[in-house]
Amino acid sequence: MHCDRLWKNARLATMTGQGLGLVDKGLIAARGGDIVYAGPEAEAPAFTAPEVVDCDGRWITPGLVDCHTHIVHGGNRAHEFELRLAGATYEELARAGGGIVSTMKATRAASEDELLAQALPRVDALIAEGVTTLEVKSGYGLERVAEMKSLKAARRLGEVRPLSVTTTFLGAHALPPEAAGDKDAYIDLVCRDMLPAVAAAGLADSVDAFCEAIGFTPEQVARVFETAKGLGLPVKLHAEQLSNLHGAALAARFGAQSADHLEYIDEAGAAALAASGTVAVLLPGAFYFVRETHKPPVDLLRRHGVPLAIASDSNPGSSPLTSLLLAMNMAATLFRLTVDECLAGVTREAARALGRLDRIGTLEAGKSCDLAIWDVERPAELVYRMGFNPLHQRVWRGTIRT
Ligand code: DI6
Ligand code: FE
């Protein structure tokens, strides 16, 4: 059988099934950007290809998927970090007009080109560690034009860099100052003005909201979700990060793709996520950086069979993190996830959280040939090291793009 490119003499973590799906002497064949074979060399059809890559026994995983980021934004919040080091808390800074609103100002002031240029070095850091699919949320514009500008910049990341980008409209992220404290009126604007315009322009693949005392109530979030559903857009939710407002159950009621953070989720919330097949996205970078102490109840989520993903939450306020390798290490050290759970969390389960498991997240014939090839002896090394990048080669849609 003819194909475009072959990777042979590799060890594969296909991530199919429940565990890592290990193949000791594996081969991957790509044609037209898709995988046509991934499995044991001994069982492969006889392939011919103009290019054959000898992997010398290196490990291949699916290209990594960062399924929750706010990577497009103006400016940074290093100064707020200094204030936090002097004793202020994240919530105090938010209530004092800093926090998300300070990034909103910088985002509104930046042009689309500037937002793109500022995001690129952060995206490049993720790419350098094998990321091939990136989710990007809006939510720092907080009015129609700036939200659409952010989403356009996000889409362009996927045009100027070799990676797949999915976009999420997060208009209900925080209250802009001009709303003068009226959250219901702002939610009206999200539902009647912003969301229809974003959907009509095809700028969002899904819709998210921040369900929290410093964000929006479950009732307000439900209005956003009803509007999203009416426009045919799937939903996801920032839930139970700082308190338990039963956002996970709300997300499940709307068949959400994912519920994210979940430090304060309870048993009913976990059962609801399991029943709706909603992925729990854990964000250890935010937990670490905000110095939270209440850990997500991983055992409870496991007991209910909730799928677990891990993401960077890359954002200027609560998680200035641009490393999925470090996110995995934190998920293991802080939340006690196993190596298998960590690797599934940034591949298969992250793909599921984006509704893209049909195309990415595992090494299987018929999926996009997105690969990360690693200079490691065993997959556990990808979780174990801190601040070390063993990526050997990255492949996006069948082409070597390190
Ligand atoms: N939760 C978070 O952790 C980020 N957004 C959210 O809803 C924080 C965003 C920021 O502080 O800029
Ligand atoms: Fe977030």
Which ligand 1 atom is nearest residue 316's CA? 12
Rounded Cα–Cα distance for residues 65 and 312 (Å): 10
Instruction: Let me know how long the chain is.
Output: 402
Rounded Cα–Cα distance for residues 207 and 184 (Å): 18
Rounded Cα–Cα distance for residues 214 and 91 (Å): 8
- Per-position pLDDT tens, the chain of length 402: 999 999 999 999 999 988 999 999 999 999 999 999 999 999 999 999 999 999 999 999 999 999 999 999 999 999 999 999 999 987 788 778 788 999 999 999 999 999 999 999 999 999 999 999 999 999 999 999 999 999 999 999 999 999 999 999 999 999 999 999 999 999 999 999 999 999 999 999 999 999 999 899 999 999 999 999 999 999 999 999 999 999 999 999 999 999 999 999 999 999 999 999 999 999 999 999 999 999 999 999 999 999 999 999 999 999 999 999 999 999 999 999 999 999 999 999 999 999 999 999 999 999 999 999 999 999 999 999 999 999 999 999 999 987
Look at phi and psi of residue 296 and say left if phi exceeds 0, alpha if psi is from -120 to 50, else beta: beta
Indicate if ligand 1 lies below 6 Å from the C-beta of 236: no
Q: Token pair of 67, please? A: 């399924």
Distance 171 CA to ligand 2 centre (A): 12
Distance 207 CA to ligand 1 centre (A): 15
What residues pair up with 239 in beta bridges, in sequence order? 211, 261
Distance 315 CA to ligand 1 centre (A): 7
Residues 38, 14: contact at Cβ < 8 Å?
yes
Indicate if ligand 1 lies below 6 Å from the C-beta of 100: yes
